[in-house]
A and B are shown apart, each in its own frame.
Chain A
Amino acid sequence: MNRRTVFVTLAVVAVLIGGFYYLRSLAWRVFHEIQGGEESVHARLNQEALQASSGVQQAITLYFPADDGSGLVTETRQMLWAVADTDRIRQIVLALVEGPTKTHNRPLPPSTDIRAVFLTNDGTVYLDFSNDMLKGFAPGIQSETLTVYSIVDSLAANVPAVKKVKILLQGQEVETLDGHIDLTGFFVPDTNLGGTAN
């Protein structure tokens, strides 16, 4: 093998190795740095919602799935109430993510992240969750129904401006929550699922 062939071979190998490392660093940026940036924005928004206190302690009614899966049960807790409705909505959802203090079921896994909250003039709330909402989620007709209505009923019970709720995942409308419940519609509060104080 002469010098020219060696040189060309080395050049091709160098280009391939360089390309591989460039693509790897690009993938790292796309999948880690940008997502990490998004996560820090969500965390900051959540922090602001929790800190944007009006100074008023408010008794909040939260709806959690009963531990026998039969319906929803309520739990009341005191909360430093935010000023804006969207911050209050975020506070309530974060409280649901935090979970019940009694032996009720969690409606949402602890990894759930709220990406965005919108409240329109006609009382429609758009809640945009990250895909983490489905990590560790136990799918099923009843469990998905209770998850949806624990959110909808908790919001309607505490924020009078909320009339109906649209749930998005990762900024998109999805067909189902986790294979069962239709998320293409708008949910209005359902008082038939229980809501017994416990």
Chain B
Amino acid sequence: MTFHPRASTLRLASAGVVLALILLIARPRALRSDNFVFYLPRGHQVVPTETIGHEQYLPLIQVLNAVASVSGLQEKQKSLVVYVGSVHLEVHLDNPKVKVDNTQVALPSPVRVSNGQWMVPLSFLQLALPKIVPERLAYRAGTDRLFIGDVNPALFTVSLKPLSGGSRLSVEFTRPVKVKTASRNGRYVLYLGGQPVEPMEGSYHFQDPYIADLTFDDQDGEPKLIVTPGSAALNFYPSEAAGGKTLLVDLAKPGMPLPLQGTTTLAQGGAPTSGAAAPSTAAPSTGGEQKPASPAATNVPAVPPAPPLPAVVLDPGHGGDDPGARSRDGILEKNLVAQIEDRVRAALVATQKYRVVLTRVGDTDPDLDARDAVANVTHPVAFLSLHAGNYGNAGTLVGVYTYRFASPSTPLSPERLVPGFVLWDRVQSTHLERSRQLAQALQTQFATLSGTVALPPREAAIHVLRGVDAPAVAIEVGSVSPDLDAGALTDGGFQDRLSTAIAQAISAFETSPAKP
């Protein structure tokens, strides 16, 4: 065999050009994989997800087997029919429309096939799965978990208090949770006893020298909280109070005697553990009580009662790439309403009457139908969409809006009218009277806020309200305008008063009789 340097160079150059073209044209299809957890009355199932394009997909057969039992399959080259009990599901490759018995359901993204598996977008869980399985399904858009049947997840709220020489993280659950702790790579893992937990937020970041962040994770099907200490070599004191409903985590400088009266140390070992330098392993609980380090240590906050509690859905507007309104001093509507939502949620939970469900978590922007879907699977007593907008130079004010259809004469094609069904984009029409009562209850409370103008309730064609199958209003604070500073709206005192007023209004509304 003879070696030809010219031919080899030529081949190399050609291969390089072809490779460059392939890299230029071809897009990576599957970018990353995560897990999705199905919580069932009999346990849980973990199903891997796949990101195709920019959409998260689930393997269809694994999903159906997790929540029900597939009794038959008919697979063709470009279509698949699956039998689940007496229901049959038909999907077609690259087609967003799926058929459940005789009902057609349009998904926002098409059905795909990846590595020989039929893949459906996450929206399948909200739009099609409820038609296939008879059990109640609770799924919050944007999350990676679904609760089936009688599974009622525990909820929790988080607060942080400074202590002398350390910080105390307090996690309050809606029912007792059996916690075991471990140390992994300089972080502390708090296993929540395997029972289903629904986090309000995926992670909490703190501006604190002792605790950097707290993250919830159940990707392996085991719910746990992961505490990242602010720096290495901090002592870690986990303990529980209020019969297991409150989890207290103290992180402190070595040598600071912190632990508490009325609390029980957790399965971590009697001696405090050093941080990253010498992580400990889990050990049996001592069950012993310890003396309080400071008066603040005994101040255990009230714990909300166990579910089921009526739900209130909070919808902080915008998020992600959509900042909403922007003020002269750079305040973005998406951040402002997230701050307000945080306080409203705390005020509602403090009443011990409600659980709070969010339509978006963190800086994301679910589409408007997905926000409505959160409400429609939750069946809340109220849906509040939070906004901030431009009211010119009118001072601090707050307005409440109910939905109004742009025109009663809006044409509706006959094929969209199905007897016995209410159209998704018209379902709010069945709750308008109750929505008006809710708006009035809110306005009555807002009118008591000093230094704030409470506008009378109004009607507007607010898109996010039209598909909500519950009493629904939008609350807009102002003014967030490019010509004005919005500083007053970011004031914690104002936000607290507003949130308390909202919580009181919800209580008053819920107990008020529905007008015929």
Which of B410, B455, B464 touches A185 (beta carbons < 8 Å)? B410
> Which A residue's beta carbon lies closest to that of B481?
A138
In the complex, whether A51 has a CB less than 8 A from a CB of chain B is no
> Which B residue's beta carbon lies closest to that of A67?
B392
Which of A8, A68, A140 touches B10 (beta carbons < 8 Å)? A8
In the complex, whether B494 has a CB less than 8 A from a CB of chain A is no
Against A, the Cβ 8 Å flags (1 = close, 0 = not) of B376-396 are: 000000000001111111100
Given known pairs A180-B462, A181-B463, A185-B407, the reply for A12 and B17 (CB within 8 Å) is yes
Mark the stretch among B165-173, B248-256, B318-326 that contacts chain A: B318-326
Q: How far is the CA of A27 from the CA of B464 in the complex (A)?
A: 37
Which of B10, B405, B406, B474 touches A141 (beta carbons < 8 Å)? B474
Q: Is the CB of A66 within 8 A of B392?
A: yes
List of A residues within 8 angstroms of B466 by Cβ: 182
Q: Is the CB of B368 within 8 A of A175?
A: yes
> Which A residue's beta carbon lies closest to that of B9?
A5
CB distance from B452 to the nearest CB of A (A): 14
In the complex, whether A102 has a CB less than 8 A from a CB of chain B is no
In the complex, whether B409 has a CB less than 8 A from a CB of chain A is yes
Q: Is the CB of A179 within 8 A of B406?
A: no
Q: Is the CB of A180 within 8 A of B463?
A: yes
Within 8 A of A (CB), among B454-510: 455, 458, 460-464, 466, 474, 476, 478-482
In the complex, whether A25 has a CB less than 8 A from a CB of chain B is no
List of A residues within 8 angstroms of B476 by Cβ: 140-142
List of A residues within 8 angstroms of B458 by Cβ: 142
Which of B10, B333, B392, B401 touches A69 (beta carbons < 8 Å)? B392
Against B, the Cβ 8 Å flags (1 = close, 0 = not) of A129-167 are: 000000010111111010010000000000000001000
Q: How far is the CA of A175 from the CA of B455 in the complex (A)?
A: 27
In the complex, whether A76 has a CB less than 8 A from a CB of chain B is no
List of B residues within 8 angstroms of A148 by Cβ: 461
In the complex, whether B300 has a CB less than 8 A from a CB of chain A is no
Within 8 A of B (CB), among A1-46: 1-2, 4-5, 8-9, 12
Which of B13, B17, B460, B478 touches A181 (beta carbons < 8 Å)? B460
Given known pairs A140-B390, A185-B461, the reply for A1 and B406 (CB within 8 Å) is no
* Total residue contacts A-B, CB cutoff 8 A: 122
In the complex, whether B399 has a CB less than 8 A from a CB of chain A is yes
Residues of A within 8 A of B (CB-CB), count? 35
List of A residues within 8 angstroms of B405 by Cβ: 185
List of A residues within 8 angstroms of B462 by Cβ: 141, 180-182
List of B residues within 8 angstroms of A182 by Cβ: 406, 461-463, 466
Which of A105, A141, A176, A184 touches B401 (beta carbons < 8 Å)? A141
Q: Is the CB of A142 within 8 A of B399?
A: yes
Q: How far is the CA of A2 from the CA of B463 in the complex (A)?
A: 69
List of A residues within 8 angstroms of B401 by Cβ: 141
CB distance from B340 to the nearest CB of A (A): 15
Q: How far is the CA of A140 from the CA of B455 in the complex (A)?
A: 15
CB distance from A2 to the nearest CB of B (A): 6
List of B residues within 8 angstroms of A139 by Cβ: 324-325, 333, 389-390
List of B residues within 8 angstroms of A181 by Cβ: 460-463
CB distance from B28 to the nearest CB of A (A): 23
Q: How far is the CA of A140 from the CA of B392 in the complex (A)?
A: 11
In the complex, whether B6 has a CB less than 8 A from a CB of chain A is yes
Q: Is the CB of A179 within 8 A of B10?
A: no
In the complex, whether B275 has a CB less than 8 A from a CB of chain A is no
List of A residues within 8 angstroms of B474 by Cβ: 141, 180
In the complex, whether B196 has a CB less than 8 A from a CB of chain A is no
Which of B393, B407, B411, B480 touches A188 (beta carbons < 8 Å)? B407
> Which A residue's beta carbon lies closest to that of B474?
A141
CB distance from B447 to the nearest CB of A (A): 16
CB distance from B325 to the nearest CB of A (A): 5
In the complex, whether A70 has a CB less than 8 A from a CB of chain B is yes
List of A residues within 8 angstroms of B333 by Cβ: 139-140
Q: Is the CB of A186 within 8 A of B390?
A: no
3 closest A-B pairs by CB: A140-B389, A185-B406, A69-B391
Task: List the interface of chain B (C-beta within 8 A of A).
Answer: 6, 9-10, 13, 17, 317-318, 322, 324-325, 333, 368, 387-394, 399, 401, 405-411, 425, 455, 458, 460-464, 466, 474, 476, 478-482
Task: List the interface of chain A (C-beta within 8 A of B).
Answer: 1-2, 4-5, 8-9, 12, 65-70, 105, 136, 138-143, 145, 148, 164, 175-176, 179-182, 184-188
Name 11 interchain pairs, CB-CB below 8 A, sorted by A: A5-B10, A139-B325, A140-B387, A141-B399, A141-B474, A141-B476, A179-B324, A180-B460, A182-B461, A182-B466, A187-B406
